[in-house]
């Protein structure tokens, strides 16, 4: 329970939406082993619908169609690139249950040449099993192996728990984003009380939720 006494899901649409952007250098990366029974595998041709299903299970999409639209925007026509950039975690039964991609900014707004970590997601029934940190650290290692020296991660207040994981892994708010989305970072400060956000004031409940809501 957080300090405002209200429980939030790890992907909670009741939370006011702000875009968040974090960054870190790709040196001295942390390493977290996968739990027993899981392994990393790369994307293979035909994995598109599996990727959509994982993201939908994690509440990134509300429908297959929305997932397909995202796939087409980010990855359609670039499937060969995904062969050494898109990672899945497989369980002992060979089911792909989590994914993340070592990618780049597709909007061309970021001219820095930094790597971008895209679409981190774990199937709902496999959340809480210690997969996120091993997945992220592994994909950041791939990113470094591709020649990137700095990484950025786009996220949002509605996925505040993922933001806490990024902070745990040494990411910090991008300075410009810390200003432009200061109210969003105040929300994350309240929900996580993360020491990396000590410079932010906590947000009040009315500044976190949309309208009059109860648990």
The domains of the chain, with CATH numbers, are 1-23+173-215 (no CATH), 28-148 (3.40.630.30)
pTM here? Answer: 0.91
Span 47-67, mean pLDDT?
96
**Torsion (CA) 134, 70, 26, 109 in degrees, nearest 10:** -160
Residue 3: per-residue pLDDT: 57
Residue 183: per-residue pLDDT: 96
Span 189-207, mean pLDDT?
94
Span 84-110, mean pLDDT?
95
Tell me the pLDDT tens digit for each residue of 40-54.
999 999 999 999 999
Residue 215: per-residue pLDDT: 45
**Nearest Cα to Cα of residue 87 among 142, 34, 125, 22:** 142
- Residue 121 CA to residue 124 CA, distance in Å, equals 9
pLDDT band at 5, cuts 50/70/90?
Answer: low
pLDDT band at 176, cuts 50/70/90?
Answer: very high
| Whole-number percent of the chain with pLDDT over 90 | 87
Span 158-168, mean pLDDT?
94
C-alpha pair distances (Å), 152 with each of 59, 108, 170 = 22, 14, 12
Span 106-111, mean pLDDT?
86
Q: Is the pLDDT of residue 147 over 90?
A: yes
Span 126-136, mean pLDDT?
96
Q: Is the pLDDT of residue 104 over 70?
A: yes
**Nearest Cα to Cα of residue 181 among 197, 161, 193, 205:** 197
Query: What rounded mean pLDDT belongs to the chain?
Result: 93
Among 51-60, 85-94, 204-213, which is the least confidently predicted range?
204-213
């Amino acid at each position: 329970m957080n300090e405002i006494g209200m429980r939030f899901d790890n992907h909670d649409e009741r939370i006011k939406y702000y875009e968040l952007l974090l960054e870190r250098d790709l040196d001295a990366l942390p390493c977290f082993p996968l739990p027993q029974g899981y392994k990393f595998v790369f994307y293979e041709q035909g994995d598109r619908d599996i990727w959509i299903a994982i993201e939908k299970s994690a509440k990134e999409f509300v429908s297959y169609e929305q997932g397909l639209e995202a796939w087409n925007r980010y990855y359609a026509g670039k499937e060969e690139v995904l062969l050494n950039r898109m990672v899945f975690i497989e369980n002992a039964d060979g089911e792909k249950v989590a994914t993340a991609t070592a990618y780049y900014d597709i909007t061309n707004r970021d001219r820095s040449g930094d790597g971008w970590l895209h679409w981190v997601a774990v199937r709902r029934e496999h959340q809480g099993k210690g997969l996120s940190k091993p997945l992220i650290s592994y994909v950041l290692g791939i990113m470094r192996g591709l020649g990137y020296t700095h990484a950025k991660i786009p996220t949002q207040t509605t996925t505040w728990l993922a933001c806490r994981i990024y902070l745990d892994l040494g990411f910090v708010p991008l300075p410009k984003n810390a200003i432009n989305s200061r109210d969003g970072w105040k929300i994350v400060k309240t929900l996580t009380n993360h020491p990396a956000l000590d410079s932010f004031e906590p947000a009040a409940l009315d500044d976190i939720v949309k309208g009059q809501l109860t648990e």
